[in-house]
Amino acid sequence: MKKIEKKELAVAALQNGTVIDHIPSESLFNVVDLLNIRSLNSSVTIGFNLDSPLMGKKGIIKIADVTYPEAILNRIALIAPHAVVNIIKDYEVVEKRPVTLPDELIDIVKCGNPKCISNNEPMRSHFHVVDSERRTLRCHYCECVMAGEELSLK
């Protein structure tokens, strides 16, 4: 019997939906939570610690029959700034784009200032993006500035 060398893991092609690629492995499950994937009834494929020539290890999420609004997908830029979103229709990629941080983030990030009103009153947090490359945010209420690893999702 001839031995067949397998070099790739076969994952079923997606007929319609969203594929989010180039997610750092350490951020993958934060993206799952951010998109509320656990509550979906659609088929979801999650690849964790996959080999990547560019990243070393990466994560990927394939969500069947779901397309998210751009504003939702761009939240991913907070924790996976180099992620790429692919929109699939009839097994073809019809749109491929990097995530980009929006100018404002509402009710996504927790303010690092314990005295901020958003931490002490029942209200939504509100941040302005100061520097999207460094993921630097400024709180709308107390003007506390936070960046990168200091950011804590709600």
Condensed to tens digits (0 to 9), the pLDDT of residues 7-65 reads 555 466 889 999 999 999 999 999 998 888 989 999 999 999 998 898 899 999 999 99
Quote the pLDDT of residue 34. Answer: 86
User: Could you tell me the end-to-end alpha-carbon distance of the chain, in angstroms, rounded to an integer?
Assistant: 56
Give pTM, 2 decimals. Answer: 0.78
The runs of H, that is alpha helices, within 35-153 are 70-73, 117-120
Quote the pLDDT of residue 3. Answer: 52
Residues 6+ apart with CB under 8 A from 32: 38, 46, 61
DSSP 16: S
Q: Indicate the pLDDT class of residue 71, thresholds 50, 70 and 90.
A: confident
| Residue 2 predicted with pLDDT over 70 | no
- Scan for tokens 């761009």, then name that residue: 74
Task: Please report, rounded to a whole number, the percentage of residues in the chain having pLDDT higher than 70.
Answer: 92
